[in-house]
A and B are shown apart, each in its own frame.
Chain A
């Protein structure tokens, strides 16, 4: 398959993830949609790495996965802390987090 097909799939996945981040209100689902966006970027990185036959893109994709795991750790910790304080788990309701 041509590399362009992989890039098209990655663009679609990225846009679907961006749509979810903009529309969903549950922070858990917002985190899931962030994962979607990171995965779209990962797919294009690996596709470009295949295009040049160079492994640097795969290393960058692995680092992106590491950063995504860290982000999930912190984000889920924050959600658990919000749940413990009996605050509503809703990104529109959590206005007092701004300071």
Chain B
């Protein structure tokens, strides 16, 4: 029974992986990865890693893949037009030889891994693994993993939480809506920009558009920083995004 389940799940895992690599549409690639992750969770269950399997389904196949689907839906329309443009464009050098070279290196890597697997002197590789007895707090259960995470691997756990915080802040900073990106002179970062970031996605800009935010910011009509713009900005009310919006290229 476990052998049948293993082979079904392994075929699903490998088919999902090949689907991710071979689908040209990124949306189908994401769906293939979802199937791959679900089959991989079955393999984890067969390896008695219940908590890891549950985390795989919830975190990976749930949260991360939803993020992927949103980004594919956001970027997708440009993707297709870009693909059409790229096929019409003459290919740059080295594009034709990339697929055989990649296949050659991946095949060599696979051969090397199989040599390492078959030639290893580990006796337990060809066994079922350590003895296992089901129980409420035995190997692989959430109680077991939680006990390990909060006693022996507490530092690792806290470091992972710090890493998640850094990644969340970095994602917000990278994907925020900022004005003036099209102007090259605006891209220069000075210490004043750090103290007071310009056009960093205020609610007024996002909801009502930049033109309304600009007019609300004190009737500044000049799109670039003219002297009267500077004067009105100094004397104007301290509205967030005041003056910065007038410099944006949008």
Task: Please pick, from B37, B86, B171, the residue contacting A90 in the complex, using a CB distance under 8 A.
Answer: B86
A55 and B140 contact, CB distance less than 8 A: yes
Size of the B side of the interface (Cβ < 8 Å), in residues, is: 89
Chain B interface secondary structure, helix, strand, loop or mixed? helix
B29 and A19 contact, CB distance less than 8 A: no
Given the known A-B contacts A29-B20, A36-B20, are A8 and B114 also in contact in the complex, defined by CB atoms under 8 Å? Answer: yes
Within 8 A of B (CB), among A17-70: 17-20, 22-24, 26, 28-29, 31-33, 35-36, 39, 42-43, 46-47, 49-56, 58-59, 61-63, 65-70
Which residues of chain A are within 8 angstroms of B139 by Cβ–Cβ distance?
Answer: 53, 55
Within 8 A of A (CB), among B67-122: 67-68, 71-72, 74-75, 78-79, 82, 86, 92, 95, 98-99, 101-103, 105-107, 109-110, 113-114, 117, 122
Bound Cα distance from A32 to B20, whole angstroms: 7
Q: Tell yes or no: B194 within 8 A of A by CB.
A: no
B17 and A78 contact, CB distance less than 8 A: no
Interface footprint category on A: 35 or more
B134 → chain A, closest Cβ, in Å?
13
B64 and A3 contact, CB distance less than 8 A: no
Given the known A-B contacts A32-B33, A80-B175, are A62 and B129 also in contact in the complex, defined by CB atoms under 8 Å? Answer: no
B170 and A77 contact, CB distance less than 8 A: yes
Given the known A-B contacts A7-B117, A12-B110, A73-B167, are A79 and B71 also in contact in the complex, defined by CB atoms under 8 Å? Answer: yes
A to B CB contacts below 8 Å, 25 in the list: A4-B126, A7-B125, A14-B113, A15-B107, A20-B20, A26-B26, A28-B26, A28-B75, A32-B68, A50-B47, A51-B122, A53-B132, A54-B130, A55-B145, A61-B49, A66-B163, A67-B160, A70-B164, A72-B68, A73-B171, A77-B175, A79-B71, A80-B174, A80-B175, A81-B174
| Chain A interface (Cβ < 8 Å from any Cβ of B) | 1-9, 11-20, 22-24, 26, 28-29, 31-33, 35-36, 39, 42-43, 46-47, 49-56, 58-59, 61-63, 65-74, 76-81, 83-85, 88-90, 92
| Chain B interface (Cβ < 8 Å from any Cβ of A) | 2-3, 6, 10, 13-14, 17-18, 20-21, 26, 29-30, 33, 36-37, 40, 43-44, 46-49, 51-52, 55-56, 59-60, 63-64, 67-68, 71-72, 74-75, 78-79, 82, 86, 92, 95, 98-99, 101-103, 105-107, 109-110, 113-114, 117, 122, 124-132, 139-140, 144-145, 148-149, 153, 156, 160, 163-164, 166-168, 170-175, 177, 181-182
